[in-house]
Structure 1
Amino acid sequence: VLALVSAALATDTAANWQHRLQPLGIPVSAVRTLPEALAATPDVLVTAGEFQLVGSPIRIAGYEPEYRAAPQLDEHAGAPAHSS
């Protein structure tokens, strides 16, 4: 069955299948690759030090998360521990 469905789906693009199947009430959506997903929503990328990564999907009014690089090895050695 998987081989038959895969062969049938390979005959057209994901967008065309979506346009054909949705009007029939069939739940369908294309699965994006990571590069496709990031290109479609570039605002999810954040920079932390030298790295780019995916930021938090949670948005809270009035709060902006802080993204920063991880500390270097022994960067905080000897510093007092932070207590809350």
Structure 2
Amino acid sequence: MTRLFNISPLSAFAKDESGATAIEYGLFAALIAAVIVGSVATLGTDTNSGFQTVSTAMQNANGESTTTEEETTVVPQ
């Protein structure tokens, strides 16, 4: 019986795992990058909030107002 398709190149391609390692490393690197981006975004927000809290506490301890200089500027008439 005559074969219509030569199966050996297809089976060789299906069994070839030479590119699988590179893909796994790429997926692992993408996962690490996603974790780093998420951590930096979260820590950045928390750090900013912490600095604002400390800044407000220092201003209150010195008896300073929490308004900015622009808000307290008086324009002569």
TM range (shorter): under 0.3
After TM superposition, the score normalised by the length of structure 2 is 0.26
After TM superposition, the score normalised by the length of structure 1 is 0.25
More strand by share: 1
Query: Which structure has more RCO (C-alpha within 8 Å, separation ≥ 6)?
Result: 1
Kindly name which structure, 1 or 2, has the bigger radius of gyration based on alpha carbons: 2
